[in-house]
Chains A and B, each alone.
Chain A
Amino acid sequence: MNTMIKIVDLHKSYMTKKALRNVNLEFQSGKIYGLLGPNGSGKTTLMKVIADLHQQNEGEILICGEKPSHKTRAFVAFMPTENFIYGWMKVKEALQFYKDMYQDFDMERAEELIQFMELDKNQKVASLSTGQKARLKITLTICRRAKIYMLDEPLNGLDPISRTKIKECIIDQFDSEGVMIISTHLVNEVEQILDEVIFIGGGEIIISGETETLRAERGKGLEDIYREVFANA
């Protein structure tokens, strides 16, 4: 296993609010990580700093040995929680955009996935429902053959059918050479697929470790550990 992402003493603040404090983490290849925490805990900020959409105030991040930049964006596939796909695009134009911009985008796979996700290629993004937008976002992101995938709240606000489809896609797409980081507060939805978990609250890492070990040590499931950790959050 290789260290794909190394984070050392990371700090990030917005005005007076500290979004990330003294974060030290390592992400190894071949694992799916769960970044678990309530809203406002720093999950999104951490992902955005890794994705080079935000800049840290202090500390260092190395992604496959490089600092976050346009170079690392070539092998980091990030799916923000926001609706980031241009509303004026049609679904097929969004696919074309990814094909044009990312060398690792697998158009064939994307075409299959669009059908699986029951999306109409000629429909405008602006006219898609929340669930359909989420399905399109995940399709675009995981159809890249990237080394690192980061999915920010991929299951938020979705109906059970969409959730199942998206989880199936994530499992199907995961490459044992890469890393996948999934941030969520819907712990029971992703518990089965996580190799390691990181509990983050108030911008700090509270607990991190292998899912199995944590469950065995504490004699309870992730959902219960989450409730215990964030009882006062």
Chain B
Amino acid sequence: MLKLIKFEFMRKKMVFLIAGALTVLGQLFAMFQYYKLDETVRNYAGEEIFTIFMSFTIFGFGLLYFIDLILLIKDDLFKQEGYMLFMTPHNGYKILGSKLIFALLEGFIIAVVYLALAYLNVNMMGMGPIDFRMPEFDVAWIELIVKGLFLGVIMLIEFALTVYLSFALFKSLFTNARFKGLITFGIFIVINMVKGQIVELIGKVFGRSFESIHLNASGAMLEAANSAMTLGIGATLVSAIILFFATGYLLENRINL
């Protein structure tokens, strides 16, 4: 699997280089805008430049990541070059798993680069230094933040798997169908509806739902948010596991490239 991940990194090196070059250019431009200002207005305008630059950067990174997440498997399933990957003696689950791990690593790298850029600019544009001391949150808050981050990550995986399952269904069970694009989109919608049903089912199994938690939240906001987060994590995890095995099965046993 490591070799598959290594190969994904090799494949994306040009994208990384271009994104890196664009980021450096953007950074230079932002610095140029900042330093050409009169010193008396720099402090005020610096924040503005920082906000605009970091907003553009996060939009650019987000868009790049979103497109990359979709193309990660689409190119291999829909282009002839994908034979090269699917002829290897790796099973469908392994191929899918390696792509997901790569997507997570890529997301992590992007997040680190973004935070590093933010730190650099906060200091250079006179808004620093950043205070790294931990705010005095109580345990419930920290739990909520950790859960929120974890939920964000598994929601990302679940989204990617929903897209991948649509593609896999298209290239397996519906490979001979007409109106290919429409069907793929339809599959995507249906999978999302099924996912909604799964979440609802899990809520019923545990005897609560997001709505009931919100209604009861007036007294104990934090506790309710924590419960909702736990339920969300559970439901998303179950959904992601089902999507993973369904997609892996199709890639392994039903695919028509």
B136 part of interface (Cβ distance < 8 Å): no
Tell me whether B81 and A85 are in contact (CB under 8 A). Answer: yes
- Size category of the A interface is 20 to 34
Residues of B within 8 A of A93 (CB): 10
Tell me whether A101 and B83 are in contact (CB under 8 A). Answer: no
Tell me whether B89 and A53 are in contact (CB under 8 A). Answer: no
Name B80's contact: one of A51, A70, A71, A82 (CB within 8 Å): A82
Name A78's contact: one of B10, B11, B82, B87 (CB within 8 Å): B87
Comparing B20-28, B36-44, B142-150, B249-257, the segment that makes contact with chain A is: B249-257
CB distance from A105 to the nearest CB of B (A): 11
Q: Which of B209-257 contact A (CB under 8 A)?
A: 252-257
Name A80's contact: one of B80, B172, B256 (CB within 8 Å): B80
Closest residue of chain B to A67, judged by CB?
Answer: B253
Interface of A is mostly: loop
Residues of A within 8 A of B11 (CB): 86, 88
Closest residue of chain B to A54, judged by CB?
Answer: B256
Tell me whether A100 and B3 are in contact (CB under 8 A). Answer: yes
Tell me whether B253 and A84 are in contact (CB under 8 A). Answer: no
Q: Contacts A14-B176, A55-B255, A100-B6 known; A70 to B83 CB distance under 8 Å?
A: no
CA distance A100 to B177 in the complex (A): 36
Closest residue of chain B to A53, judged by CB?
Answer: B257
Residues of A within 8 A of B252 (CB): 69-70
Tell me whether A97 and B14 are in contact (CB under 8 A). Answer: no
B86 part of interface (Cβ distance < 8 Å): yes
CB distance from A58 to the nearest CB of B (A): 15
Give the most central of B6, B11, B87, B252: most A CB within 10 Å: B87
Tell me whether A85 and B90 are in contact (CB under 8 A). Answer: no
Residues of B within 8 A of A39 (CB): none
Name A15's contact: one of B3, B84, B92, B176 (CB within 8 Å): B176
Name B81's contact: one of A48, A51, A86 (CB within 8 Å): A86
Name B83's contact: one of A82, A88, A89, A100 (CB within 8 Å): A82
CB distance from A127 to the nearest CB of B (A): 14
List 14 A-B pairs, Cβ < 8 Å. Answer: A15-B176, A15-B178, A53-B86, A53-B256, A53-B257, A55-B254, A55-B255, A55-B256, A70-B88, A82-B83, A84-B83, A86-B11, A97-B7, A101-B88
Residues of B within 8 A of A (CB): 3, 6-7, 10-11, 14, 80-84, 86-92, 172, 175-178, 252-257
Closest 4 CB pairs of A and B: A74-B89, A84-B83, A82-B80, A70-B91
